[in-house]
Amino acid sequence: MERKTRTGYLVLADISGYTSFVAKTEIEHADIALSFLLEAIVKKLSALLTISKLEGDAVFAYAEESQLPEGKSLLELIDHTYVAFRDQAETLYGRATCPCRACQAIPTLDLKFMVHHGDFVIQQVAGIRDLLGTDVNLIHRLTKNHVAESMGWKGYALFTDQGLEHMQIDKASFVRQTESYEHLGDVVTFVMDMHVRYREIKAA
């Protein structure tokens, strides 16, 4: 069966600190907290994007070019999603009545975004839809980057050069970095500190 190549935006929202959170806390309460946080992410992203799947601590979503004609709306969606995540985390922490490690460790969690524009194929096997392609591989590889190491940021939005070009967003307010991956080569990225964005949005 011929599969149609599609072009559009690929977005991966990944919870920072997830591995440590699960490893060092009570799994029952950790699971409840993560479920609420993932639901907040899905609810916001699904307003404009199609949710492809949940990947443990991450939400993978996409939108074909025709479905998202204005790149600015995607930037606004990332802002709204991050605010929803932070607000939900603060609510969960504020309402926690038990002293368990999971409830007390909620503030250690943060959210990072990877955004890319490229080609992909939608595969459907046994009723399960999945995205395939080099650009799909790239956005997943981007989760392994040097932002935390170089900038000290846990909550951020990372855009590929191709992604920002298609969004037609001014790059002046982003930090330019280059990541390198086997088989994919050098990838120019532009990164934004979501903690700064969060403060600006709340102040406004």
Domain ranges in the chain?
5-203
Q: How many CB atoms lie within 10 A of CB 83?
A: 17
Percent pLDDT > 70 in the chain is 89
Q: What is the pLDDT of residue 1?
A: 45
pLDDT digits (tens, 9 = 90+) for 178-203: 999 998 999 999 999 999 999 999 99
Place of tokens 């890319």: 116
pLDDT digits (tens, 9 = 90+) for 43-58: 999 999 999 999 888 9
- The H-assigned helical ranges of the chain are 18-24, 27-45, 71-95, 101-104, 134-141, 147-151, 161-167, 194-203
Backbone angles phi, psi at 173, to 5 degrees: -90, 5
CATH of domain 5-203: 3.30.70.1230
Record the tokens describing residue 56, joined without a space: 């443990």
